């Protein structure tokens, strides 16, 4: 499914005109101006899966954030921006095939890490509550209690409940189960499977972070399914060979000058892996 057909970024003339319009001289950067134009990236024509590939500082995350702001998709984590970000976004032009669904969103590494930390915090809170209930159960079973007034009735009910149940049953009745503990990689893959819904545009910023090779392969297979069967359009920034190898992915190489569309096997990062394993082939 294609919702976003293309985006055109400001060219050098437009950027220069904007620079001349800035009256204040106290700024030493006009970020994100002069980032994508320096790389020779003027336009992206999107496929159901479009990948922005490049090393650190190549501009792939900048491009992803600009696209997200231009489409007004949902966002949770803050991102690097400047006083001129909105000015830059206004100069960008998009062409849509279909209206972007309102539940479309950008997902960053910070979102995934926050999710994993929230699970950990939730479990810690549940564990503290369980310990309090363990103590309460013990005290209720051991204490001598006399009903003196109606105000003591709730206390009596809790005491009788504790005496009628095992400690585990008493606690389980009053607190939710601990969320299943998973490794960081398992939690990250689960997050994407839970977060991505059908029929939407998703911008994913280096979703391979914290994932082992096996989990990256699992994530790549799932992302292919969302584009093929769930009506999703994916725009991904990555340098993971496993994600780059996704079928029918259109890859923009932001390390090339100017930016070029390439097959995944021609990318420097992938070839570095290939050459490394070729040199050590005897070890296998």
DSSP assigned state of 282: G
Whether residue 68 is found in the same domain as residue 208: yes
Q: What is the CA radius of gyration of the chain?
A: 27
Instruction: Summarize the confidence of residues 60-85 as an average pLDDT.
Output: 92
Q: 């960053």: which residue's tokens? A: 108
How many C-beta neighbours within 10 Å does residue 215 have? 18
Whether residue 259 is found in the same domain as residue 274: yes
Whether residue 145 is found in the same domain as residue 47: no
Q: Which tens digits make up the pLDDT trace of 88-145? A: 999 999 999 999 999 999 999 888 877 766 665 555 544 555 555 555 655 555 555 4
**Paired residues of 181 in beta bridges:** none
Task: Concatenate the DSSP letters of all residues of 69-117 into one string.
Answer: HHHT-B--S-----TTHHHHHHH-EEEESSPPPTT-EEE-HHHHHHHHH
Q: 């790549």: which residue's tokens? A: 220
Whether residue 125 is found in the same domain as residue 247: no
> Can you give the pTM of this predicted structure?
0.77
Kindly give the interhelix angle for 184-195 and 109-142, rounded to the nearest 10 degrees: 110
> Domain for residue 75, yes or no?
yes
CATH number, domain of 16, equals: 3.40.50
How many C-beta neighbours within 10 Å does residue 209 have? 17
> Domain for residue 179, yes or no?
no
pLDDT at 128: 57
Whether residue 227 is found in the same domain as residue 170: no
Q: How, if at all, do strands 250-253 and 201-205 pair?
A: unpaired
Calculate what percentage of the chain has a pLDDT beyond 70.
74
pLDDT at 82: 84
Which residue range is the domain that position 139 belongs to? 111-174
> Is pLDDT of 180 > 50?
no
> Is pLDDT of 150 > 90?
no
Cβ 91 vs Cβ 10: under 8 Å? yes
Whether residue 138 is found in the same domain as residue 254: no
Whether residue 188 is found in the same domain as residue 126: no
pLDDT at 176: 46
For the chain, what is the domain count? 2
Examine the fold and report which residue of 156, 174, 192 is the final residue of a domain before the chain moves on. Answer: 174
- Tokens standing for residue 201: 């545009």
Whether residue 81 is found in the same domain as residue 140: no
Whether residue 17 is found in the same domain as residue 140: no
Question: Which of 32, 33, 42 is closest to 9 using CA atoms?
Answer: 42
Examine the fold and report which residue of 146, 174, 202 is the final residue of a domain before the chain moves on. Answer: 174
pLDDT at 134: 55
Examine the fold and report which residue of 149, 174, 199 is the final residue of a domain before the chain moves on. Answer: 174
pLDDT at 61: 93
Q: Which tens digits make up the pLDDT trace of 183-242? A: 555 778 888 888 899 999 999 999 998 889 999 999 999 999 999 999 999 999 999 999
Q: Label residue 10 by pLDDT band (50, 70, 90).
A: very high
Cβ 111 vs Cβ 145: under 8 Å? no
């Amino acid at each position: 499914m294609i919702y976003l057909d293309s985006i055109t970024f400001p060219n050098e003339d437009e950027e220069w005109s904007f620079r001349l319009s800035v009256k204040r001289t106290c700024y030493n950067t006009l970020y994100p101006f002069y980032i994508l134009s320096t790389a020779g990236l003027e336009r992206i024509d999107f496929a159901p899966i479009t990948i922005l590939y490049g090393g650190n500082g190549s501009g792939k995350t900048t491009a992803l954030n600009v696209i997200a702001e231009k489409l007004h998709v949902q966002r949770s984590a803050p991102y690097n921006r400047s006083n001129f970000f909105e000015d830059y976004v206004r100069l960008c032009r998009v062409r849509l095939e279909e209206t972007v669904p309102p539940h479309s969103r950008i997902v960053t590494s910070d979102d995934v890490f926050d999710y994993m930390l929230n699970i950990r915090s939730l479990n810690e809170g549940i564990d503290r509550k369980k310990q309090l209930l363990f103590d309460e159960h013990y005290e209720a079973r051991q204490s001598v209690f006399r009903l003196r007034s109606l105000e003591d009735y709730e206390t009596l009910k809790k005491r009788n409940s504790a005496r009628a149940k095992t400690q585990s049953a008493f606690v389980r009745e009053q607190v939710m189960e601990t969320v299943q503990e998973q490794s960081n990689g398992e939690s990250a893959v689960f997050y994407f499977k839970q977060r991505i819904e059908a029929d939407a545009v998703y911008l994913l910023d280096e979703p391979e972070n914290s994932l082992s090779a096996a989990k990256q392969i699992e994530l790549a297979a799932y992302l292919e399914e969302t584009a093929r069967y769930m009506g999703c359009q994916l725009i991904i920034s990555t340098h993971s060979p496993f994600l780059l190898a996704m079928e029918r992915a259109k890859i923009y190489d932001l390390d090339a000058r100017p930016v070029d569309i390439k097959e995944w096997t021609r990318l420097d990062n992938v070839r570095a892996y290939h050459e490394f394993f070729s040199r050590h082939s005897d070890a296998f």
